[in-house]
Amino acid sequence: MKTTRFLMTVALAAGVGLAQAGPGAHGPNGEHLDAPVGAVAAGGLARLPDGSVNVPKAAQRRMAIRTVLASSSEAAATLQLPARVVMDPNRSGRVQAAYGGRIEPGPRGLPVAGQAVKRGEVLAYVRYQAEPYAAANQQSQLSELRTQRQLAEQKLQRLESLEGTVPRKDIDAARAELAGLREREAGVGASLGQREALTAPVSGVVASVALVAGQVVQARDVLFEVVDPARMLVEAGTPDATLAARIAGAQLAEAPGTRLQLQGAARALRDGLLPLTFTVQAGKPGAALPLAIGQPVQLIVQLKERVQGIVLPAQAVVRNPANEPVVWIKAGPERYVPQPVQYRALDALTVVVTQGLGADNRVVVQGAPLIAQIR
């Protein structure tokens, strides 16, 4: 009898073992079927089959999740335009060589990118390099002028020694001739070893350097770019010729603390678009801008029109696996549901949701990216 009971117990244990899934088995949603009950996700975090997420209270505190009750309001309509940072022509400049030659360091050596310079400061020299035939002609001309100058000096000395017996006009003519020869000799002599001083056109920082000591450059080569780090321009393009008259303000998504002001809109197409130019300044007067010349930026333009919607922080909108914009709505004490929405950016930090939300929805405004990562 005892043997029979023992065999029945072993059979039941084997049946239970067969009812469990083998190691590595997966369900339709990718969950491990061989995992024990209650160990689906550490700390109770789990994404439910309907796409919602379960977040226990303790996890909500750790993730610093905050929600607000959505309320409808009016906000300025916005438009996002691709733009780039360009130099302000009144506060920036380029240094170019007027003649070709060989580069020589300035009094402080050759400047490097990021170095502060003052207007009129000598950055480098360009030593003029004439062709051998031209240099020989200049040397020959200099020798001829030197000989003529020496003869003129001797002639003037003889006339001055005979002062009173020769007309005064002859002495004055000899002096004038000698002065002219000296000036011509000095000019030709200076041209043989002439060098051009490259000076900073404005006060600011060196944005780019395109030379080294001893480099041979050609005329009109751009050697330095000097910019004012506190004053730049942002240039955007639009096919709408009426957009400039509808703009009420603008901000940069990459630099929320900067101030932009529309300078004007072009009346000629460039690459199929009308350029819009904005001045950009730092929040604190004189502070350097967190931007670089040529940097692509996203320009958020506020229009004079008004739009009805729900204003939320920009971090409240995240992307789902299908790359759709969604916000997370609190549907229960520990349950959050993703809700697809349509939105427009108001500025670099806030958005307005125009479709997808109701006034009674409690929306996650802090910690939404962390909820979206729960699997």
Side-chain half-sphere CA neighbours of 29 within 13 A:
9
The reported pLDDT for the residue numbered 203 is: 93
Query: Can you read off the two tokens belonging to residue 280?
Result: 């950009």
The reported pLDDT for the residue numbered 191 is: 66
3-state secondary structure of 11: helix
The reported pLDDT for the residue numbered 29 is: 37
CB atoms within 10 A of CB 367: 20
Mean pLDDT score of the chain? 82
Q: What is the bridge-based pairing of β-strands 247-252 and 93-96?
A: unpaired
User: pLDDT tens digit string along 231-279?
Assistant: 899 999 999 889 999 999 898 988 888 889 999 898 898 888 999 999 9
Residue 61: Cβ-neighbour burial (10 angstroms; 0-12, 13-18, 19+)? exposed
Rounded to an integer, what distance in angstroms lies between the CA atom of residue 361 and that of residue 135?
85
Helix pair 132-161, 168-192: axis angle to 10 deg: 160
Mean pLDDT of all residues in 130-137: 64
User: pLDDT tens digit string along 309-326?
Assistant: 999 999 999 999 889 999
Enter the CATH code of domain 66-86+230-372. 2.40.420.20
The answer to whether 352 and 310 are in contact (CB under 8 A) is yes
Task: Indicate if the pLDDT at residue 98 is higher than 90.
Answer: no
User: Among 322, 365, 366, 368, which residue's Cα sits nearest to residue 71?
Assistant: 365
Percent over 70 (pLDDT), the chain: 85
Phi, psi (rounded to 5 degrees) for 104: -125, 140
Hunting for tokens 């969950």 — which residue is that?
A: 31
Would you kindly state where each structural domain of the chain is located, as residue ranges? 66-86+230-372, 93-227
Q: Is 93-227 a domain of CATH 2.40.50.100?
A: yes
The answer to whether 228 and 203 are in contact (CB under 8 A) is yes
What does pTM read for this prediction? 0.61
3-state secondary structure of 226: strand
The answer to whether 249 and 302 are in contact (CB under 8 A) is yes
Rounded to an integer, what distance in angstroms lies between the CA atom of residue 93 and that of residue 226?
5
CB atoms within 10 A of CB 21: 12
